[in-house]
Structure 1
């Protein structure tokens, strides 16, 4: 706020004492200074609210869940607010902006720091895992080409329409992927798990968009597989988004000590409390975090990098180490596919 500096007149001094260094006075300079203060304050309102929810481990209500997905980009308005506060010498606003920048910066620091240690026990199998959201089946042909080129051992497919299911049945050799768990549905609801390893049926998550599950036999070990595709947190579906992520959390907790892979389009980032709940409940780790690729954007694919956010994940139990993680551009979808190279360790 503006402060007035009272002047004194000495004997024979007919001039008012000059205004203090932070008093712009009532003229145009004072108006600009007050305008700058309002501008900086307004810029800080949204970042402050969102980062406060992040610190409180809550996703709150709209628009917080949507803005948490882009938490790193809130550094921009906070930085502009700090510059405006510095220019106007607004010390309270400087402190506010600096605090918001510091807390936001703490939360957006690289996730992968200090996570290079491998699980105990020897590696018994190498497993490549691919997850891809095909956007209403639009990237089906690109997926088929990717499978032929990369030959992953496990494939998690979201938004696989009836045409996509038919293309997988006709275009993917049973010799390459003899084991499949396919849920046929229209629009974005269809999903599929393809595997080079024997699969046994397992109860999936009851949801609007299909989230099937299976148990894979890999090197003599039973590995729980769960495809993730909860509803997106659009303003009128935040409660459903939170509920379905909660069901995934319960599913992750039910795996117990068994090796597990949960992969797909989570419509959530590690800045969402509901997503972190899944990690904690299942003792899971994000493979991109282990591979040093945290915060690499996967959606929307059309934005130039580093714009966007990472909502496509491959989560693994502590039985797995990660050799690499790569995001692949598939024509026909607004998501980038994620291919991770894993090693399964015998930690028994």
Structure 2
């Protein structure tokens, strides 16, 4: 009997240890994500929170099968917290009662100008795009886009091409005013902006966003600086939209803080917030993550969001159909 008791006790301890080893990493992830504590290498890791949320049910199932009450409780709370943060992105939300004209806005990262210009022009033409925001925009692709007919489709523009990844551009079907460019303080990516005069709607400021990428720990401070330096919404002033490669997902605290100023993430509002926009599209073995966004003033209704392949780029293009308020 003593040997049997010792064996049973050892089995119980092993089962409890296995449960805690499965539960605690996911629970720690939930704490860092919900508290916005990502720093250093955790910034990159947090981008993959949707995958951790999906897998969070496995430790719970293990604890339930092994009948370990305490680990099961922690696992259940963890799963509910992570799934509660992630799952709503797949469910459309209520929209404001905007009754003005519709604007179709496309944002595309061109990967050092290496994206196929014909594919982008075809996308603008077939999807009837009104405003195009581009990042990693070079002089060569600017010339090729115009040669392929973009100038006739979107004749108004504020273009600032540069070699490498820092160029930025804004194209529009409607007239632009108060246009210009600014350079981020953390990492020298440029961001073109302008005010679009959409007939029947109030003036709409649009900016092509491109904060620093947290590709290494040493540039994470630049990432924080650039995200915090993005223009906040002006919920009692001019309508505004930020569209581009934010190098951040909705699981990153600085992006959530920016949205909280008065924006809504268009894909999240349309129930398309889990569609990947960067990752394996140039052959890298990286699970897709959602770092390209259209942030719209909360007075703008989001009708639909689509994610389109863009050959030659490691990003997908994001198209948002927006219903603007009526001009007063």
Q: TM-score range by the shorter chain?
A: 0.7 to 0.9
From 68, 84, 107, the equivalent of 2:62 is 84
Gaps of 5+ in 2: none
In structure 2, which of residues 214, 224, 242 is the aligned counterpart of residue 242 of structure 1?
Answer: 224
1:137-167 CA-to-partner distances (Å, cap 9, x unmatched) read 2213221222232230100111122321221
Shift of 1:59: 4.1
- Aligned CA distance change for structure 1 residues 116 and 86 (closer, same or farther; 3 Å): closer
Whether 1:217 aligns to 2:203 is no
**1:43 and 1:78 in contact (8 A); partners too:** no
Matches within 5 A, 1:112-131: 115-120=93-98, 122-123=99-100, 125-131=101-107
CA distance in 2, matches of 1:341, 1:224: 16
Match of 1:69 in 2: 47
Match of 1:193 in 2: 170
In 2, Cα distance between equivalents of 1:77 and 1:112:
17
Change (3 A) 1:39 1:236: farther
Displacement of 1:100 in angstroms is 1.2
Number of residue pairs matched?
A: 320
1:17 Cα offset (Å): 9.8
* Cα distance in 1 for residues equivalent to 2:126 and 2:95: 30
Query: Contact (CA 8 Å) 1:223, 1:261: kept in 2 or not?
Result: yes
Alpha-carbon distance between aligned partners in 2 of 1:118 and 1:178, rounded to the nearest angstrom: 31
Q: Secondary structure at the match of 2:94?
A: coil
- Within a 5 Å distance, the mapping from 1:160-199 to structure 2 comes to 160-199=137-176
| Paired residues of 2:264 and 2:298 also in contact (CA < 8 A) | yes
Q: Which moved more, 1:233-242 or 1:40-49?
A: 40-49
User: 8 Å contact 2:158–2:180 — kept in the other structure?
Assistant: no
Write the distance in 1 (CA, Å) between the matches of 2:192 and 2:16: 53
- SS of 1:218's partner is coil
- Gapped regions of structure 1 (runs ≥ 5): 1-14
Deviation at 1:278, TM superposition (A): 1.2
Asked if 1:24 corresponds to 2:8, the answer is yes
For residues 196 and 269 of structure 2, the distance between their equivalents in structure 1, rounded to whole angstroms, comes to 23
38-47 vs 285-294, which moves further: 38-47
After TM superposition, the score normalised by the length of structure 1 is: 0.82
Q: 1:69 to 1:219 in 2, by over 3 A?
A: same
| 1:319 and 1:347 in contact (8 A); partners too | no
* Contact kept? 1:50, 1:64, Cα under 8 Å: no
